[in-house]
Amino acid sequence: MDENVEVVAHDIHRRHVAAGLIAGILSFALHAGLISWMMSTGIEIALGPTPEDRSDEYPLIRLRDIEFPEASNQEPSPAAAEAAVGVADMSGTAAELELPLEMPAIEPPDLPHDISTEEATTMAGPEREVQPEAWQPRQEILAIEESRVLDQVAELPRRRIPKITRISEAADIVYPVDRALMEADSQDTGTFHEEPVPKPAVIEEKTTADVPAATKSAVTIDEKQAESGAELFEETPEDVTDVKPLEDFLSATVATYTDRRDPESGHFRIEITRLSKDVLPVVPKDLLFIQDCSASMAEQRLYFCRKGLKSSLDMLGPDDRFNVVGFHDGADFGFESWATNTPDNRDTAKTFIDALRSAGNTDIYASILKALDIPREPGRSMIAILITDGHATVGLKDAPSIIREFSKLNDGAMSVFTMGTIQTADTYLLDLLSYCNRGDTRQIEGGRWSIPETISGLAAEVRSPVLSEIGLSVARATPAEVYPVQMMNLFENRPLVLHGRYKRGMKQVTLQARGRASESEGDMIFSFDLENAPKGTKEIRSEFGRQKVYHLMGAFARSGDPRIREAVKNTAREYRVRIPHRVAF
């Protein structure tokens, strides 16, 4: 069966090939016969336009042979020349247009009479201006359209000053001289001369008989004083500045500590106290009590706070002023401004304190910010005591933001002391708020029953300031790192304590502190002998580390720089101190 199918397929294939060949032969024969018939009958097939048909639309370009005439010495006539080159006569046209014909200059103009022909041949032609390769904006910007000032200023003449003879140990400041004495001395001795340019003083040797009587009684100069001029130009500190030196009124002690594990640095502790009550009087103060009255305080704790506030009013000095603020989501003042310390004002304040009740939310920032609106009087120490649980519930609630914004606006003008009324108070906020504003913080111990005692104890510590607004600086010759940078006030019953670090081998350290004492500014300079200072314990080094940690934490609260956060951790690790408020770091 399969063989029969294969035979039939081959037979069909041969038939297809034969049919294709026959069709091709027939097509060729048909086309060849058609072409022969058309040629024999003379029929033309137009495949495109003939030359005759396109002569008008597409003129042909014909190449011809050009015969050049033989050269002749005779010049052609103008008419022939014009006809040869195809020049048209434009004279008539120019006359009609009334335009003069411009004939090209075929000869150079005559030379001026002052230039010879030989010189003219040697004269260089105008140089071609060099064009910039690209557009320069400055050329347009610096172009001066109209000049209104002189482009050049004459050089200032030099004035030579003769060499001045220097006088050794001469005073820096020359004080005014009595004019009557000056006139008498200038007439008789010739020592003083009123001239526009001062000249070096020349002291002539004179006998006592040569000096007038008025001069003898007023001026007595021995030979040694005449050489230096010390008698004439002697000055006192009161003549130079109104800052009062306080070194003689204060007592300063220093103790050092060195650790063998720290071969490069040593540490010191300085304690400054007042010598006696007579030499440095107490500065009058303005004391502001800021009491939290929000619902989170609870009436039980607020009851004990009222007792502590009323007992603190009795600790005010005779020249002190005060005010009381109760706050929750707003602030209420007991007085419109500062109240003087009188029995009537104290009774009014106690009545206001008894009316404080626990209610509402807590807006710490807005409340303490209102304290800055109270007018401040120079010469008085301004102190605020903030009593709160430290949990802000409305307004600005972020602790670093409260510390940063208030410290920036206060700028150390008001000392802020804080007190937490509960063991779960926000100690980070209270500690840093007081540290960054010349203050300190207290925390109750033993429950709410200890609140009155803690408030009155804090009021007793700040009762008698003797030096306020203290600024500290270290001499360049004795570099040291000292904390705290922003110091608290110096109080009668509370010494001023500083902790510092110095480089091993440094023999002494010099510190300068400047503050306000009573009605004038005071200045104290101390130089401490580090080599012979008493040796302290390792607590000196640890306390320095803790003070530096607090300083860095305050800087972090004010700026939020993450690098300061790392510095806090590194400092705590180096000095083996605990980082307070670990949650914030």
Task: Identify the pLDDT of residue 273.
Answer: 87
Q: What is the CATH number of domain 286-461?
A: 3.40.50.410
Higher pLDDT, 207 or 3: 3
Task: Identify the pLDDT of residue 286.
Answer: 95
User: CA separation (Å) from 127 to 57, 124, 134, 351, 391?
Assistant: 54, 8, 21, 103, 88
Mean pLDDT, range 551-580, rounded to an integer:
90
Stretch among 87-91, 214-218, 329-333, 577-581 having the lowest mean pLDDT: 214-218
Stretch among 114-123, 343-352, 399-408 having the lowest mean pLDDT: 114-123
Task: Identify the pLDDT of residue 182.
Answer: 42
Work out the pLDDT band at 478, boundaries 50, 70, 90. Answer: confident
Tokens coding 129: 């201006």
Number of H helices, E strands in the chain: 17, 16
Mean pLDDT, range 380-385, rounded to an integer:
92
Q: Where are the domains of the chain?
A: 247-275+466-578, 286-461
Q: Residue 503: phi, psi to the nearest 5?
A: -85, 135
% of the chain with per-residue pLDDT over 70: 61
Stretch among 65-69, 301-305, 314-318, 323-327 having the lowest mean pLDDT: 65-69
Task: Identify the pLDDT of residue 70.
Answer: 53
Task: Identify the pLDDT of residue 12.
Answer: 64
Burial of residue 275 (CB within 10 Å: 0-12, 13-18, 19+) is: exposed
Give yes or no for residue 94 having a pLDDT over 80: no
What would the DSSP string read from start to end of 339-358?
EES-HHHHHHHHHHHHT---
**Cα separation of 69 and 6, whole Å?**
91
Task: Identify the pLDDT of residue 315.
Answer: 92
Work out the pLDDT band at 376, boundaries 50, 70, 90. Answer: confident
Q: Hey, which bits of 224-264 come out as E strands?
A: 244-245, 250-258
What one-character DSSP code corresponds to residue 493? T
Half-sphere exposure of 3 (CA within 13 A, CB side): 0
Q: Taking the CA atoms of the chain, what radius of gyration do you get in angstroms?
A: 55
Q: Residue 289: phi, psi to the nearest 5?
A: -95, 125
Task: Identify the pLDDT of residue 489.
Answer: 87
Task: Return all residues near 510 (Cβ < 8 A) that are at least 6 apart.
Answer: 474, 475, 477, 478, 525, 526, 527, 528
Task: Identify the pLDDT of residue 168.
Answer: 64
Mean pLDDT, range 147-171, rounded to an integer:
62
**Cα separation of 384 and 367, whole Å?**
12
Give per-residue pLDDT as tens, 49-58. 554 554 455 5
Percentages (nearest 5) of helix, strand, coil residues in the chain: 35, 20, 45
Tokens coding 5: 């199918």
**What residues form DSSP beta bridges with 269?**
255, 499
**Cα separation of 273 and 252, whole Å?**
7
CATH 2.60.40.10 fits 247-275+466-578, yes or no: yes
**Cα separation of 418 and 289, whole Å?**
10
What one-character DSSP code corresponds to residue 208? G
Task: Identify the pLDDT of residue 199.
Answer: 39
Give per-residue pLDDT as tens, 99-124. 454 554 445 555 555 555 555 444 44
Task: Return all residues near 224 (Cβ < 8 A) that are at least 6 apart.
Answer: none
Give per-residue pLDDT as tens, 34-43. 777 776 665 5
Task: Identify the pLDDT of residue 77.
Answer: 54
Check: CB of residue 488 under 8 Å from CB of residue 496: yes
Task: Identify the pLDDT of residue 189.
Answer: 39
**Cα separation of 177 and 195, whole Å?**
15
Q: Residue 19: phi, psi to the nearest 5?
A: -65, -40
Give yes or no for residue 253 having a pLDDT over 70: yes
What is the CA angle 351-390-464, rounded to 5?
Answer: 60
Phi-psi region of 308 (alpha: psi -120 to 50; beta: other; left: phi over 0): alpha
The type of residue at 270 is I
